[in-house]
Amino acid sequence: MATTFTVGVAQVDCRLGDVEANLAIYERELREAKARGIDLLVFPELSLTGYFLKDLVPAVALDRESQVLRRLRELSRETVAFVAGAVEERPECRFYNAAMFFDGGELVHVHRKVYLPTYGLFDELRDLARGDRIRAFESRFGRAAMLLCEDLWHPSAAYVAALDGALTLIVPSASPIAGLGREVLPENAAYWQRANRVTAESYGVHLIYANRVGFEDGIGFWGGSEILGPAGEMLARAAYYEADMIAAEVSRAAVRRRRIVAPMIRDEDIDLTINELLRIRDRRAPAGAGAPPPAPVAARTPMRATTRKLGAKTRQTAKPAKTPRRR
């Protein structure tokens, strides 16, 4: 396992619905990354397909037998490890906004976007299914986790990833320009930079944010991809509004130093969090939905004992009806 490696971001423009053209962009960027000594290259969200897909989703989706997926595996063997942004099709004919981690000719891990925005310019739930898990995974660069764009705006997502052991947080994004005034940066870009810094510093992780540029249907993307260290420090930032490639060296030693100084992850009380979330969930269950009355908060016991109690409770009570999500 590498203790120090070079991570890069390919801040690209991409063509809506043209997978072959975007695959050619991937190949060009990956070969440049190899020439520059980059070990891991991160592409933006849905950069293999374009973002505002609507009814194009089934046409551009990749299933496990896809020739494009096979080519991506080959590229990870020929060039460097990378994270691709694509639409994944599952055997049950469900389509996901996915981040795919390739290395050494293998698809190592897939993250399916959990929080699909349905406000303002966004309507992802119209054509895509929600992911249902956030998992860290092992790689030759250490334990990592991927979140997709809106996922990071929900603090619980990064919290789960960090508690699952992630030392590096990879965040592909397709963030459009919103709230642009006289400043160089639109309002949402400034928010992203604050959120990235706070997340990296709070959890003591390297954070790789890969945003795209270009236009789709008159909507622009602002770029500004960045690589942050575990104290929230800026290691590299890409240009705004134009294609770019950035790189920075990251190390596990930096994470270790940060977590010694600020041991927030070490001191996190998972039992407390679980118990309080169960209490809140029960309180928020809709009236008349057949949900049981709120149960007493479990005693503060070791995690293994708490898990057995929660499992027994689940078997003995009806599952509360889901509350409709409001976005």
**Same structural domain for residues 292 and 184?**
no
Is 206 contained in some domain? Answer: yes
Mark the ranges of the chain whose per-residue pLDDT is less than 50.
294, 297, 299-327
**Same structural domain for residues 250 and 138?**
yes
CA 35, CA 191: separation in Å to the nearest integer? 34
Q: What is the CATH number of the domain that holds 232?
A: 3.60.110.10
Is 10 contained in some domain? Answer: yes
Taking the model in full, what pTM does it have? 0.87
Contact 9, 39 (CB under 8 A): no
Predicted pLDDT of residue 19: 98
Count of domains forming the chain:
2
Contact 16, 253 (CB under 8 A): no
Predicted pLDDT of residue 84: 98
Is 321 contained in some domain? Answer: no
Is 176 contained in some domain? Answer: yes
Predicted pLDDT of residue 1: 80
Query: Per residue in 75-107, pLDDT tens?
Result: 999 999 999 999 999 999 999 999 999 999 999
**Same structural domain for residues 80 and 154?**
yes
Predicted pLDDT of residue 291: 52
Predicted pLDDT of residue 325: 41
Distance of CA 91 to CAs 61, 62, 67, 95, Å? 12, 11, 16, 10
3-state secondary structure of 112: strand
Domain boundary among 247, 265, 283: 265
**Same structural domain for residues 223 and 301?**
no
Predicted pLDDT of residue 292: 55
**Same structural domain for residues 244 and 143?**
yes
Query: Per residue in 281-318, pLDDT tens?
Result: 999 887 665 555 545 545 444 444 343 334 434 334 44
Domain boundary among 249, 265, 281: 265
**Same structural domain for residues 172 and 208?**
yes
Residue 260: both structure tokens together: 């010694």
**Same structural domain for residues 65 and 180?**
yes
Q: Find the domain containing 100 and state its range.
A: 4-265
**Same structural domain for residues 284 and 164?**
no
**Same structural domain for residues 284 and 248?**
no
**Same structural domain for residues 309 and 188?**
no
**Same structural domain for residues 173 and 277?**
no
Is 325 contained in some domain? Answer: no
Is 327 contained in some domain? Answer: no
Closest by Cα among 197, 221, 169 to 47: 221
Is 27 contained in some domain? Answer: yes
**Same structural domain for residues 259 and 292?**
no
Is 324 contained in some domain? Answer: no
